[in-house]
Amino acid sequence: METLNLEEKRKELSDMLHNNICEVTFTKVNGEKRVMPCTLKEGVVPVIERKEGAEPKKQNTETMSVFCMDKKEWRSFRIANVTEVRVIE
């Protein structure tokens, strides 16, 4: 994944996370290493209901929001800081 540009890395991560539960290893902004089981798989992530008339959030292309399986909450990470991705389910 190191040879991919940010856009290609984002697409590959998104595809993997939409089809699987993965263990993503990344460096947090504070420098700590984090290993996070997460997914974007339909049927696993909770449905987000948007308030009527609410504007959709602007997407930051440098980060990815995912559903963290151990915290059961939405989390995000910087795509450039991902060091490893492994399919676990």
Question: DSSP assignment of 17-71, as one string?
Answer: HHHSEEEEEEE-TTS-EEEEEEE--TTTSPPPPPPTTPPPPPP-TTEEEEEETTT
Q: What is the pLDDT along the chain (89 residues), one digit of tens a residue?
A: 667 788 999 999 999 999 999 999 999 999 999 999 999 999 999 877 777 777 777 788 899 999 999 999 999 999 999 999 999 99
d(C-alpha 58, C-alpha 45), whole Å: 20
Query: What's the one-letter identity of residue 66?
Result: V
**pTM of the entire structure?**
0.85
